[in-house]
Structure 1
Amino acid sequence: MSTLYLLHKPYRMLSQFTDDQGRATLKDIIDVPGIYAAGRLDYDSEGLLLLTDDGELIHRISDPRHKQPKTYWVQVEGEPNDKAIDALRKGVALKDGVTRPARVQRLMEPAVAPRKPPIRRRAETKVSWLEITISEGRNRQVRRMTAHIGHPTLRLIRTAIGPWQLSGLATGQWRSETLHAPIKRRSTFSRASRRRS
Structure 2
Amino acid sequence: MTRVILLNKPFDVLSQFTDKGSEVSTRRTLSDFVNVPGVYAAGRLDRDSEGLLILTDDGKLQHRIAHPKNKMTKSYWAQVEGAPSDDALAQLRSGVQLKDGMTRPAKARKIPEPAQLWPRTPPIRFRKNVPDSWIELTISEGRNRQVRRMTAAVGHPTLRLIRYRVGSWTLDGIPTGAWVETSV
Q: Which residue of 1 aligns with 2:118?
A: 113
Q: Which residue of 1 aligns with 2:93?
A: 89
- Structure 1 Cα separation of the partners of residues 169 and 63 of structure 2: 16
Could you tell me whether the CA contact under 8 Å between 2:5 and 2:181 is conserved in 1?
A: yes
Give 3-state SS (helix, strand or coil) of 1:143's partner: helix
Give 3-state SS (helix, strand or coil) of 1:147's partner: helix
Give the counterpart letter for 2:87 in structure 1.
K
Q: How does 1:7-22 map to 2 (within 5 A)?
A: 7-19=7-19, 20=22, 21-22=25-26
Could you tell me whether the CA contact under 8 Å between 2:3 and 2:39 is conserved in 1?
A: no
Higher RCO, 1 vs 2 (CA within 8 Å, ≥6 residues apart): 2
Q: Which residue of 1 aligns with 2:144?
A: 139
Give the counterpart letter for 1:167 in structure 2.
D
Note the aligned Cα RMSD (angstroms). 0.9
Q: How does 1:19-30 map to 2 (within 5 A)?
A: 19=19, 20=22, 21-30=25-34
- Structure 2 Cα separation of the partners of residues 104 and 94 of structure 1: 17
Q: Which residue of 2 aligns with 1:73?
A: 77
Q: Which residue of 2 aligns with 1:168?
A: 173
More strand by share: 1
- Structure 2 Cα separation of the partners of residues 59 and 144 of structure 1: 24
1:152 aligns with 2:157: yes
- Structure 2 Cα separation of the partners of residues 34 and 8 of structure 1: 19
- Structure 1 Cα separation of the partners of residues 111 and 18 of structure 2: 36
Alignment TM-score, normalising by the size of structure 2:
0.95
State the Cα distance separating 1:178 from its structure 2 match: 2.9
Task: Specify every segment of 5 or more residues in structure 1 that has no aligned partner in the other structure, as ranges.
Answer: 180-197
Q: What is the identity percentage for the equivalent residue pairs of Structure 1 and Structure 2? A: 60
Q: Which residue of 2 aligns with 1:45?
A: 49
- Structure 2 Cα separation of the partners of residues 174 and 118 of structure 1: 22
Q: Which residue of 2 aligns with 1:122?
A: 127
- Structure 1 Cα separation of the partners of residues 123 and 67 of structure 2: 33
- The size of the alignment, in residue pairs, is 179
- Structure 2 Cα separation of the partners of residues 56 and 44 of structure 1: 28
Give the counterpart letter for 1:16 in structure 2.
Q
State the Cα distance separating 1:70 from its structure 2 match: 0.4
Q: Which residue of 1 aligns with 2:68?
A: 64
